[in-house]
Structure 1
Amino acid sequence: MISFGKILFFPILFILCLIYKILFFLDRSFKKKRTLPSSITISVGNFSVGGTGKTPFTLHLAKLLHSNFPNIPIVILSRGYGSSGKGTRKVTENSSPVEIGDEPLLLKKNLPFAEVYVGSNRYDSYVQFRSENKIPNDQKVFVLLDDGFQHHALNRDLDLVLLDCTKLSKKEFVLPLGLLRESYTSVSRANFLIASKFSEEYEGPLSEWIQKYKPSQTLKFRFSPKKLIPLSFGASEVSVKELSGKSVFGFAGLGNPDSFYSSLKDQNPSELRTKSYPDHYSYTKEDLTQISEKSSAQDYIICTEKDGVKITSLIGTDKNFSKWFYLRLETVLENESELLRSVRNFV
Structure 2
Amino acid sequence: MLARAGLRVASWPYGLAMRARNRAFERSWKRVHTAAVPVVSVGNLTLGGTGKTPCVEWVARFYRERDLLVAILSRGYGAETGRNDEAMVLEENLPDVPHLQDVDRVKLAETAVEELEAELLVLDDGFQHRRLHRDLDIVLIDATRPPARDYQFPRGTLREPASGLRRAGAVLLTRCDQVLGAEVEAIRAWVTERFPDVPVATTEHRPTELVGCNEANEEVHELVESLGGKPVGGFCGIGNPAAFRHTLESLGACIADFRTFPDHHAYTREDVDDLNRWAASLPPDAIVVTTQKDWVKLRVPALGGRPLRAVRIGLHFRDGEGAFVDVLERVIPAG
TM-score band w.r.t. shorter chain: 0.7 to 0.9
Does 1:202 find its partner at 2:180?
yes
Tell me how far apart the structure 1 counterparts of residues 124 and 14 of structure 2 sit (CA, whole Å): 22
1:94 — aligned with what? none
- Tell me the SS of whatever aligns to 1:251: strand
1:100 — aligned with what? 83
Does 1:34 find its partner at 2:28?
no
Question: Of residues 139, 143, 148 in structure 2, which corresponds to 1:161?
Answer: 139
Q: How does 1:281-296 map to 2 (within 5 A)?
A: 281-296=265-280
Tell me how far apart the structure 1 counterparts of residues 58 and 305 of structure 2 sit (CA, whole Å): 30
Q: Amino acid of the residue matched to residue 336 of structure 1?
A: E
1:323 — aligned with what? 307
User: Which shows bigger deviation, 177-186 or 254-263?
Assistant: 177-186
Q: 1:318 offset after TM fit, Å? A: 7.5
Does 1:230 find its partner at 2:212?
yes
Deviations along 1:47-81, one digit per CA (max 9) or x if unpaired, are 111211001110111111211x21x2111110000
Q: Amino acid of the residue matched to residue 297 of structure 2?
A: K
Q: 1:200 offset after TM fit, Å? A: 7.9
Tell me how far apart the structure 2 counterparts of residues 272 and 202 of structure 1 sit (CA, whole Å): 27
| Residues 1:42 and 1:236: Cα distance change in structure 2 (over 3 Å) | closer
Q: Amino acid of the residue matched to residue 14 of structure 1?
A: R
Deviations along 1:119-165, one digit per CA (max 9) or x if unpaired, are 111111111222322x3xxxx72111110111111221111110111
Tell me how far apart the structure 1 counterparts of residues 55 and 157 of structure 2 sit (CA, whole Å): 20
CA RMSD, Structure 1 to Structure 2 (Å): 2.2
Contact 1:168 1:206 in 2 (8 A): no
| Residues 1:218 and 1:289: Cα distance change in structure 2 (over 3 Å) | same
- The normalised TM-score by structure 1 is 0.85
Q: Amino acid of the residue matched to residue 81 of structure 1?
A: Y
- The normalised TM-score by structure 2 is 0.87
2:71 — aligned with what? 75
Contact 2:143 2:176 in 1 (8 A): yes
Contact 2:279 2:303 in 1 (8 A): no
Q: 1:169 offset after TM fit, Å? A: 9.5
Q: Amino acid of the residue matched to residue 130 of structure 1?
A: V
Q: 1:319 offset after TM fit, Å? A: 8.9
Deviations along 1:200-243, one digit per CA (max 9) or x if unpaired, are 84321122222223241111122222221114423632222221
Query: Where does structure 2 lack aligned partners over 5 or more consecutive residues?
Result: none
Q: Amino acid of the residue matched to residue 204 of structure 1?
A: A
Q: How does 1:86-97 map to 2 (within 5 A)?
A: none
Tell me how far apart the structure 1 counterparts of residues 150 and 312 of structure 2 sit (CA, whole Å): 29
Tell me how far apart the structure 2 counterparts of residues 239 and 228 of structure 1 sit (CA, whole Å): 6
For this pair of structures, how many residues does the alignment match? 318
Tell me how far apart the structure 1 counterparts of residues 303 and 232 of structure 2 sit (CA, whole Å): 19
Contact 2:36 2:113 in 1 (8 A): no
1:123 — aligned with what? 106
Contact 2:208 2:312 in 1 (8 A): yes
- Tell me the SS of whatever aligns to 2:251: coil
Contact 1:230 1:322 in 2 (8 A): no
Tell me how far apart the structure 2 counterparts of residues 210 and 245 of structure 1 sit (CA, whole Å): 35
Question: Of residues 8, 14, 20 in structure 2, which corresponds to 1:20?
Answer: 14
Q: How does 1:215-294 map to 2 (within 5 A)?
A: 215=195, 216-232=198-214, 233-234=217-218, 236-294=220-278
- Tell me the SS of whatever aligns to 1:49: coil
1:60 — aligned with what? 58
Q: 1:107 offset after TM fit, Å? A: 1.4
- Tell me the SS of whatever aligns to 1:199: helix
Tell me how far apart the structure 2 counterparts of residues 121 and 321 of structure 1 sit (CA, whole Å): 43
User: Which shows bigger deviation, 254-263 or 140-149?
Assistant: 140-149
Tell me how far apart the structure 1 counterparts of residues 7 and 306 of structure 2 sit (CA, whole Å): 47
Question: Of residues 159, 162, 171 in structure 2, which corresponds to 1:184?
Answer: 162
Tell me how far apart the structure 1 counterparts of residues 85 and 303 of structure 2 sit (CA, whole Å): 24
Question: Of residues 315, 320, 332 in structure 2, which corresponds to 1:335?
Answer: 320
- Tell me the SS of whatever aligns to 2:176: coil
Identity, % of aligned positions: 26
- Tell me the SS of whatever aligns to 2:220: coil
Tell me how far apart the structure 2 counterparts of residues 34 and 77 of structure 1 sit (CA, whole Å): 17
Tell me how far apart the structure 1 counterparts of residues 146 and 139 of structure 2 sit (CA, whole Å): 15
Tell me how far apart the structure 2 counterparts of residues 201 and 288 of structure 1 sit (CA, whole Å): 34
Query: Where does structure 1 lack aligned partners over 5 or more consecutive residues?
Result: 1-6, 85-97
Q: Amino acid of the residue matched to residue 113 of structure 2?
A: R
| Residues 1:212 and 1:41: Cα distance change in structure 2 (over 3 Å) | same
